Structures are given as C-alpha cells and as structure tokens.
C-alpha cells in the first residue's frame, strides 16, 4: 500500500533530523517541542493536561503533548518514535476508558484540543474542521448558512473521534452514520508525514478511517458534507417513571417501523436534586423520548402521534432551528465523572421490555443516572454507497447505561448497575459493539464483521508497521511480536 503525501515535508529516514537529542528518560527527549506544550509527570501542568473527559478515569501517560499546528504534531510523532514511545491521539478524551486499560507507561497522549479551526463552504456544502474541533464549533457557523451536520447528541464531543468511530445523530435514520459523510481526512502518519485521504487519494486508508477509529494516525483535519436543513420538528416528551411500562412498550413497537425521517431515543432518567435542573423535574425519576423529524410540522406530528397519545406531562415537540439540536439531549458538558456500559440489540420484544424495566423501571433502586435506548434502522440499517469500514448497523437498537462516579464507591456501584442492565438484555444482543459507546475495554473485533476486521488489520500494518499509534479501541497489525493476530 503506497501512501500519497500532501507535501514531502522533512525527511523521515533519520528521525533525529527533526527531533531533539535523545538523553535521559525517553519522555525527557520531548521537552522543548510544541513551544513548551509538553507535560511530564511531576510538571506543574501535567495533572491538568492529562485529564480525559470522564473525570472518573486516572489517565497517567508518560507525557502529554499539546500541539497547535500540523508541524508540531509531526515533531511530536517523530520524536516519540525515535525515543521508543507510542502515541495516543486524543482531543477531548471522550471514551478514554479502553485506552487507560491498555496501560500508558510508554505512551505520549497527543491532545489536539488547541486545533479547533472551522471553515464552511456553503456553495459546496462542505465543512472543514481541525482535528481538535468540537461539535459546538461547527454547528453554529453551519447554521448561519442554513446548513446542518450529522452531529452527535452533545456539543462538546470531539468531531474527529465521533466521526472516525461512526456517529449517530438526530438525522441518522434518514442520512446514515456521520462517518459516511466524511469527504476527506488529513492526518500525520507513523513516519511523521502529513497525508490526505479521500475517495481518490489514499482511498484504502480513507475507507479504514471511516469507522475504523484512531489507530491509523493523528487526525489534523476533516472535511464532511453539510445538509440543507435549517429547521426540524424536534423536542421531547416526558412522563413520570411510573408510566415507564406503557410508554416503553409503545415506543419499542413503534420505533422499528417508524418513517426514516424520524430518529429518537428513549431514556429513564434519575435526576439529582440540583439547581441546574428545572424545578418541576428536580430529584425525580422520569421517562423521556426525544428526537427529531425531517419534514413538515404536519408530517412530524403524524409521525409521533402514537407517542403523544400516551399523554406526556411535558411535550416540547415543535419547529426549532437545526443548530439547537446539538443540545436537545441535554448531555452533560465539560469533564464529568461517569461510568457506563452499552450493548447492540438485534431486537427488543416484550420480554426485553420486561427485562429492561426489571432493572430501571418503577420501584428500581439502581444507581444509574440514565438508561437509554437509541432507535436504529432506516438508513442506519442499509449499506451506504461508497461507505467506509462501518457503513451500517445490523441492529434495531443500541442500549447505553450511565451513572455518576463522584467517588470510588459510586463508580463501583454505577459500573455494576450498568453491567447488570446490559446483562439482562444479553438474550437480545447481536454480539456486536458500537465502539463509540463502549467506554470500557471490549474486544474491538466485535465492532466489525470478519472481512472488515481483516482489512482493517492489513491497512494498519501498512501505514503503521511498527505499532506507533494507540487507539482507544485498537486495531492490531496482522503480525505483532512475531505472532499472527486474531
């Protein structure tokens, strides 16, 4: 596999031409790079720089690098390789649990969070974002042109990690996974070169990046399609948890056959008594169905009529600006101590409803803040023409359970309760994982079919033959340490 470069850049045949002299510990060799944005254990800025999004994780790498440009990314990659260190690309640090579980003693966490530039081409309907940009950085300028991206449910999720791992948004059942709306990815590869991958240039690498995750290099920029969506019929329906059984049973029957223009989620929320929550919901356990419908108000109202017939206590569905949907789900913003688990469900019959409610329904003492089901199907269940490594889901729903972890005791209890929920749903699991939602260590093979897994390993072997990069859900090389990988 030949890699076509953006520019030739400095030679990589001798890493010392662009790296400092190696002396002392391996990590010490990085000092002086990134205009001082290198943090080692014991440095004043190390503890702040190393924190991932989930404050429940203790991420302690050999060093943290905070580059502000492509050239600085290249310098760090070359210096780390010369020093015998590995590199873990990271922007916000969402989904860092599997990375921490791999061990970070010889790893440089390369944080791209300072690289947040965004430009919108309204004529071509293309957004270009730097590798550390968050969804909030892109949705506002796109909205200024009456355009929308296939963003996620939280404004402070990194676009790169979300897009490389799949991406389920509020238009997903009509437009598919966000990863298949990528039109180009620029990244620094293991030899320190800056590479552009798209449908015509480095096409095999482009295929792997769309769903294969962060094992192939450090993403410095992405380009993706925008859609002419200025408004949507969107909102939420809320009931008290005592009505969870009829609401979930109705939603579970309705969701698989709903029009493709509709994308929703079902949640049971156990809300804490804190001032940030509206008084009418503070300290309560409630059922929430939220989502969006593309099309007219009349079509939207018809689409959710069966759900509205259950007389929700609160109904906010109506015509809203598309840019507001990035906060519709009300996910927590900023570093938050959480633990979670997830499962892909091939079906969700009445028996699954009973199992779900046995853990989190009325009368439950579960510590989970949230027990969620995301509606799949529609375009998410069909092969995307010209799509990447993750083109569709062979599932009807994805379940996600999350709990606050303010203390070690809360973390242990919350993780146990999250596992309990996915365990009772295991009879309806399809055995696959949506790796963007897998925030604890899982076998990455479960994210792909066998043929895709083999292709991803082959491409990883070609672009990173010495295993420099560490993804949170790592794609191995075909041969590692003299042994053929599974």
DSSP string, 170-193: TTHHHH--GGGGEEEEEEE-TTS-
Q: Encode pLDDT of 337-348 as tens digits.
A: 999 999 999 999
Residue 65 DSSP one-character state: E
Max distance between CA atoms of the chain, in angstroms, equals 71
Question: What is the model's pTM?
Answer: 0.94
Q: For the CA atoms of the chain, what is the radius of gyration?
A: 22
pLDDT reported for residue 482 = 80
The yes-or-no verdict on residue 398 having pLDDT over 60 is yes
The whole-chain average pLDDT of the chain stands at: 94
Q: Encode pLDDT of 226-242 as tens digits.
A: 999 999 999 999 999 99
Distance of CA 203 to the CA centre of its chain: 23
* 3-state SS assignment for residue 430: coil
CB 259 within 8 A of CB 303: yes
CATH, domain range 231-437: 3.40.462.20
CB 400 within 8 A of CB 342: yes
Q: Encode pLDDT of 119-135 as tens digits.
A: 999 999 999 999 999 99
Question: Cα–Cα distance between 223 and 225 in angstroms, integer?
Answer: 7
The yes-or-no verdict on residue 19 having pLDDT over 80 is no
CB 165 within 8 A of CB 211: yes
Question: Cα–Cα distance between 14 and 20 in angstroms, integer?
Answer: 12
CB 215 within 8 A of CB 460: yes
pLDDT band at residue 8 under the 50/70/90 scheme: very low
Of the candidate ranges 6-10, 77-81, 442-446, the one whose mean pLDDT is the lowest: 6-10
Task: Please report which helix (H) or strand (E) contains residue 86, including its range.
Answer: strand 86-90
Question: Cα–Cα distance between 96 and 440 in angstroms, integer?
Answer: 8
CB 381 within 8 A of CB 394: yes
Q: Encode pLDDT of 332-381 as tens digits.
A: 888 899 999 999 999 999 999 999 999 999 999 999 999 999 999 999 99
CB 101 within 8 A of CB 440: yes
Tell how many helices (H) and how many strands (E) occur in the chain.
Answer: 13, 19
- Beta strand ranges found along 327-448 (DSSP E): 338-345, 370-375, 397-404
pLDDT reported for residue 481 = 82
| Per-residue burial over 396-430, b = 16 or more CB atoms within 10 Å of its CB, e = otherwise | bbbbbbbbbbeeeebbebbbebbebbbebbeebbe
CB 356 within 8 A of CB 362: no
- Beta strand ranges found along 199-354 (DSSP E): 218-225, 231-240, 262-270, 285-293, 314-315, 318-321, 338-345
């Amino acid at each position: 596999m030949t890699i076509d470069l953006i520019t030739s850049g400095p030679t990589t045949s001798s890493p010392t031409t662009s790296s400092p002299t190696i002396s002392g510990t391996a990590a010490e060799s990085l000092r002086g790079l990134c205009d001082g944005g290198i943090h080692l254990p014991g440095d004043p800025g190390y503890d702040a720089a190393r924190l991932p999004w989930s404050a429940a994780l203790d991420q302690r790498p050999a060093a943290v690098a905070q580059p502000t440009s492509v050239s600085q990314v290249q310098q760090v990659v070359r210096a780390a390789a010369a020093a015998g260190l590995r590199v873990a690309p990271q922007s916000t640090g969402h989904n860092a649990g599997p990375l921490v579980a791999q061990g970070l003693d010889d790893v440089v966490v390369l944080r791209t969070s300072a690289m947040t530039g965004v430009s919108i081409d309204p004529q071509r309907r293309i957004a270009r974002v730097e590798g550390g940009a968050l969804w909030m950085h892109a949705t506002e300028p796109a909205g200024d042109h009456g355009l929308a991206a296939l963003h996620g449910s939280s404004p402070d999720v990194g676009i790169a990690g979300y897009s490389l791992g799949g991406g389920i948004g509020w238009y997903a059942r009509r437009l598919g996974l966000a990863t298949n709306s990528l039109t180009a990815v620029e990244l620094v590869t293991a030899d320190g070169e800056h590479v552009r991958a798209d449908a015509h240039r480095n096409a095999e690498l482009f295929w792997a990046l769309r769903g294969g995750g962060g094992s192939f290099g450090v993403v410095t920029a992405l380009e993706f399609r925008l859609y002419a969506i200025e408004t949507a019929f969107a909102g939420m329906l809320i009931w008290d948890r005592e009505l969870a059984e009829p609401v979930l049973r109705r939603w579970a029957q309705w969701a698989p056959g709903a029009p493709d223009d509709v994308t929703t989620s079902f949640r049971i929320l156990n809300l804490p008594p804190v001032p940030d929550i509206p008084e009418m919901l503070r300290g309560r356990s409630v059922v929430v169905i939220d989502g969006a419908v593309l099309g007219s108000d009349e079509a939207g109202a018809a689409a959710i009529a069966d759900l509205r017939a259950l007389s929700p206590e609160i109904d906010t569905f109506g015509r809203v600006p598309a840019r507001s949907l990035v906060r519709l789900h009300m996910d927590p913003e900023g570093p938050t101590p959480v633990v979670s688990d997830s499962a892909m469900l091939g079906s969700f019959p009445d028996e699954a409803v009973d199992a779900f409610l046995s853990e989190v329904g009325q009368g439950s003492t579960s510590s989970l803040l949230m027990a969620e089901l995301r509606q799949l199907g529609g375009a998410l269940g069909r092969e995307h023409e010209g799509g990447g490594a993750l083109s569709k889901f062979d599932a009807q729903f994805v379940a996600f359970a999350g709990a606050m972890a303010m203390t070690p005791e809360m973390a242990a209890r919350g993780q146990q309760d999250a596992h309990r929920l996915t365990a009772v749903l295991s009879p309806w699991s399809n055995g696959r994982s949506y790796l963007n939602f897998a925030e604890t260590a899982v076998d990455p093979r479960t994210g792909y079919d066998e043929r895709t897994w083999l292709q991803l390993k082959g491409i990883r072997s070609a672009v990173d033959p010495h295993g420099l990069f560490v993804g949170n859900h790592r794609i191995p090389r075909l041969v590692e340490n003299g042994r053929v990988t599974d």
